Structure 1
Amino acid sequence: MKYFEDNLYFTREQLLIEISHVSDEVFNRKFETNKWSIAQICHHLLKTETLFTKAILFGLEQNKRAETVRKPIEQVLDRSRFISAPKISEPGKGPFYVLQIIQQLNDSRINLLGVLNKIEDKSILEEIAVKHPVFEDLSLDQWVELLYLHEQRHIQQIKDQKKLR
């Protein structure tokens, strides 16, 4: 579990470094009409983390243990593959404000870590699966791993957006 916490922390720090010195104007600017703004990417990440936390809580509450097959979730890092966001995790139109989003991301991460830290035996995360919209039945430990991989994907997208300003 320490590995997950380190990766969650490191990835979030990378995200905050990328957005913390961006003006609200640049944060909300759409550089391409069919792409999200940096703010929308961050709002999507916030919504995704909230949904993942709910999925993990749901799995823990259901406590249905089953054999799970490890899924190739690292493919989320391949940005040549387009993955459409589920409607529920699509961002709002904004405008959004950098400091507000940073605070919301911090609150969301505290909530997720609070859920994970209450689990006495972390191995249970490998034994419980919850349906994911792309990967189907996904063990809870892979939900956690997917969260920071997904964030890494979008950090690269933000870096690309910043080059266009």
Structure 2
Amino acid sequence: MNNVVNDNLYETRNNLVKEITLLSDAQFNSKPDTGKWSIAQVCHHLVLVEEASIKAIAWGLKESDRTQKERKNVQHFILDRTKKFKAPKMVEPGVEPFEVQQIINLLNDSRKKLITFLSTIEDQSILAEKSVKHPALGELRLDQWIEQIYLHEQRHIEQIKEIKLLLDV
């Protein structure tokens, strides 16, 4: 994994943890509106997306045909918060209340799994040669699956900041 991607994964995760660390469990689980997610649910969703991304990359690596696709401008697409997406069922957060520390532990576990998994890939160049269909972005190169993890997290950090303003935190 290249240093820029690794630095972005690390920096974005640190920013996320900073946003939630000082919240009480009540603030963490409060919803700004009945149809909206709580900060806890946003964070649980991020854990689920990271775990699903590991599975997608692993599946893509096992495929024998190398379907190199052009790089997509995923940064623009993901960070444009005027475009709303419905989370696929497999990455919808739980409805039960979460504790801040519980979610931080889940975030740490999912990131450790990602880094460990990526370190097992001997030839990292293969990540740019294979692709898997992403539910929101379409056919996506495996290296961009890694990139979308921290971009998606950045998108939701902005959402968390908005929720905190709405909740007057």
TM-score of the superposed pair, with normalisation by structure 1: 0.96
SS in 1 for 2:96: coil
Aligned length: 165
Distance, in Å, in 2 between the alignment partners of 1:25 and 1:135 is 34
The runs of at least 4 aligned residues of structure 1 exceeding 6 Å deviation read none
- Deviations 1:77-133 (CA, angstroms, capped at 9, x unpaired): 011111111111111102111101100110000000011111122111100101111
Shift of 1:63: 4.2
- Deviations 1:31-63 (CA, angstroms, capped at 9, x unpaired): 111210000000100110000011111112224
Which structure 2 segments of 5+ residues have no match? none
Q: Does 1:28 align with 2:17?
A: no
Which structure 1 segments of 5+ residues have no match? none
Residue aligning to 2:40: 39
RMSD across aligned positions (CA)? 1.0
Residue aligning to 1:3: 4
Shift of 1:157: 0.3
* AA in 2 matched with 1:76: I
SS in 1 for 2:124: coil
Q: Percent identity?
A: 52
Residue aligning to 1:162: 164
TM-score of the superposed pair, with normalisation by structure 2: 0.94
* AA in 2 matched with 1:158: I
Distance, in Å, in 2 between the alignment partners of 1:164 and 1:131 is 35
* AA in 2 matched with 1:7: N
Distance, in Å, in 2 between the alignment partners of 1:2 and 1:119 is 15
Map 1:126-165; keep pairs closer than 5 Å.
Answer: 126-165=128-167
Residue aligning to 1:76: 78
